Amino acid sequence: MATCPQGHASGADDYCDVCGAQMASTPQAPTPAPTSAPAAAESCPICQTPRAGQFCEVCGHDYSSAGSAAQRGHPAPHSEQGSAIGQAGSAPAVGARWEAVTAADRAYYEKVIAEGGPDADAVAFPPYCPERSFGLYGDQVRIGRRSRARNLEPEIDLTGPPEDPGVSHLHAVLLAQPDGSWTLVDPGSSNGTQVNGKLLKVNVPVPIRPGDRIHLGAWTVITLREGTP
């Protein structure tokens, strides 16, 4: 026969049949409060390099929602792109065609050499550098030099010849805007990017207009043009 907390002998084992008190039960161990593990540093899903900004410093992966679609060989479903460095919407409006024309700028080269960079004495201006035209399509257009080891193939490939040694593998990125225009962002290139002579701040997008001149590397200039298809 069970004994209730008041000392009565009870024939029931749930409530005392003398005073009605609840019979004592074996206390349950308190559920431990959940502990949160420290958040692991985010790594690039392509090359596993620790994240240091909007774009992977090794393979150029874009961490925004649609960024992986730009990685060749790593397709992703289409989605509207949004990121900390600006909003990139759909491709340019129908009826507008943008192109980027690359060339060598002697005046810019002489300015770079005069400023005395670390390898200025070893960089020579190319005796011949033909103009090349690249159409701007999609949500983003990467500018740089391709690297098979890093699985990086920028849409505006400045590998050459001639090759500008001052251009990073991922030097800058053009982002499409909903109204058909473009913005330019430098994700952290080694030697910086200039638009119409003004140095860009890292990861701060600036609007680009037809006729703007983008300087990068030791002598490369990119001129933006807009026309009809």
Query: What's residue 122's pLDDT?
Result: 79
Query: What's residue 71's pLDDT?
Result: 39
Q: Which residues of 190-226 are buried (b: 16+ CB within 10 A; e: fewer)?
A: ebbbbbeeeebeebebbebeeebebbbbbbbbbbbeb
d(CA 187, CA 205): 9
- Topology of domain 97-227 in CATH is Tumour Suppressor Smad4 (2.60.200)
Q: Answer whether 0.85 is exceeded by the pTM.
A: no
Query: What's residue 61's pLDDT?
Result: 63
Place of tokens 């800058």: 172
Query: What's residue 214's pLDDT?
Result: 97
How many Cα atoms within 13 Å fall on the side-chain side of residue 210? 9
Q: Which residues of the chain have pLDDT under 50?
A: 26-29, 37-38, 65-95
Query: What's residue 100's pLDDT?
Result: 95
Query: What's residue 188's pLDDT?
Result: 93
Is the bond leading into 127 cis (omega within 30 degrees of zero)? no
- Neighbouring residues of 131: CB distance < 8 A, sequence distance ≥ 6: 101, 102, 103
Query: What's residue 160's pLDDT?
Result: 80
Query: What's residue 27's pLDDT?
Result: 46
Amino acid at 24: A
Alpha-carbon dihedral angle through residues 39, 63, 60, 107, given to the nearest 10 degrees: -120
